[in-house]
Each structure stands twice: as C-alpha cells, then as structure tokens.
Structure 1
Amino acid sequence: MTMFERIEFISKKRGMSLREVNEKAKLGTNAIYRWKKQTPSVDKIKAVANVLGVSVDYLLGKSESQTTSDNKDLDVEEAIDSMRSYQGKEISESQREVLRGIIKGYLDNQGK
C-alpha cells in the first residue's frame, strides 16, 4: 500500500475527506493528491499523521500499527468519530471539542 493509499484509507476510517485532512494539516490546495507522484517533506507527512492520529512510520509503510504513542488520544478520537450525529443532526467541530474534553476528563479520572 502506498503512502497516499494509507492516508486515503485512514481518512475514510476517521470519517474525513482528503480535502478535510489537507485543510487541517494546513497544506496547499490538493497537496495530498500530488503525493501520488511526488514525495512530500517530512514536516508535511508529520502534519498529516497528527491530523489522522497515526504515526509517521505507519504512513511511510514502516509499521502496520496505526496507533501513535498516545493511545488515549486515539481512543478519544475514535469514540468521537463513531458518533457522527445526534438526533439526526451532524456533530459540529465545536461540539467535537466539547466531547473531546469530556471524554478525556472522564478517562483521566478513571485512572485515579
């Protein structure tokens, strides 16, 4: 699987389009699509990995593990991603931020 295919796969898994990933990583227009033929810089790969919650090694094909060193943050993102709507309405980014804080606070208190 190429880096582009890995990005496409994990983006779909996270419920994001490549355009959304591109914007959140603060890359130029359609930058990720150009990676089919061009090799991006490490800082751009790192930005995409951070947006997707995966390791750079996973994107580069050096690891099959999708998780980052901070599994709790990934678990929180997966929980939020699994909840795409509430009462028939899509969850906004601001609502996602609130949910992220609630879930992290809950998980932090469970460990005490």
Structure 2
Amino acid sequence: MSTTYKLFIVIYGGIMSVLFDRLSLYCSQIGLSFYAIENATGLTVGSLRKWKDSMPSGDKILKVSNFLGVSMDYLMGNTDNPESQKNNPQDLVAAAEEIAAVINEFQMQTQDLIIKLNKILDKYHIDSTILAQTSTQPEKD
C-alpha cells in the first residue's frame, strides 16, 4: 500500500469520523434522533449511520445541515460554530443598508440626468412634454 494511499485513507476516515461525530453530538444536544432527521429530509432509514463508514454526497449533507439549521462547515469540522452563516441578521441589515445606498445613488443620478436633459431641451426651445408624447404615440405605417 503506497504512502499516498495510506494518507488518503487517514484523511478520508478523519473527515467521515468528524462528520458523524458532529452529527451525533448535535443530535443528542437537541434531542433529535437520526430516524427523525432521515424522515424529515427524505433520506433512507439508516443512511445517517452509514456516514460513520462512508462519505455521503454533498447534497445529503446540505439537506441535513439545512434541516438542523447548522452550517455544512460545522458538520464537516471546518468550524466550531454550528450557526449557519446564511441569512445572518447582521448581514441582512448590512446588505439592506448597502442596497439602500445604491438605490439612493441611482435616484440621484437619475435626477441629475433629468435636469441635464431638460437643460438641453430648453437650450433648443423644445417643450419637454414633447418627448413624453412622442414616446407614447404609436408609429404610423
């Protein structure tokens, strides 16, 4: 058996062990059985127990993490924080503030554009309402 293969087995086994251990611990902390999770997520009965010896697909890990409300990173052992980073309230507030700033900037630019267009129309003594009329009138054949 090559050294690379042995290293792969150690790493792969370690990931499976962490995943299964994290899942088992979290379930015991919140008082939920594997059966209840399998039933709620549509996984086959007994499939979570198999995670101890074989790596599940990413979509199955995602289903379980979404159901439990924890991040996939937590289940995989990449973080000790079980809270999902998805839809974090602080991030939602920050995103809303940034979006509002962009909208305000766009509105200001739109107002500036309207002012500039009106100045051009005034310069050539064109009634600004003519643009509205020409854009809404159907074309004649």
Instruction: Return the TM-score normalized by structure 2.
Output: 0.48
Which residue is equivalent to 1:62?
78
1:71 shift after superposition? 5.0
1:50-88 superposed Cα distances (whole Å, 9 cap, x missing partner): 11110000001111110012456xxxxxxxxxxxxxxxx
How far apart are the structure 1 equivalents of 2:23 and 2:40?
A: 13
After superposition, the CA RMSD in angstroms is: 1.5
Which residue is equivalent to 1:43?
59
Which residue is equivalent to 2:47?
31
Instruction: Return the TM-score normalized by structure 1.
Output: 0.59
How far apart are the structure 2 equivalents of 1:51 and 1:10?
A: 12
Which residue is equivalent to 1:7?
23
- Letter paired with 2:28: K
Taking only the aligned residue pairs, the percentage that are identical comes to 32
Give the conservation status (yes or no) of the 8 Å contact 1:14–1:52.
Answer: no
Normalized per residue, which structure has more helix? Answer: 2
How far apart are the structure 2 equivalents of 1:25 and 1:59?
A: 16
Q: Which structure's relative contact order is higher, taking Cα pairs within 8 Å and 6+ residues apart?
A: 1
- Letter paired with 1:7: L
How far apart are the structure 1 equivalents of 2:43 and 2:59?
A: 10
Unaligned runs of 5+ in 1: 73-112
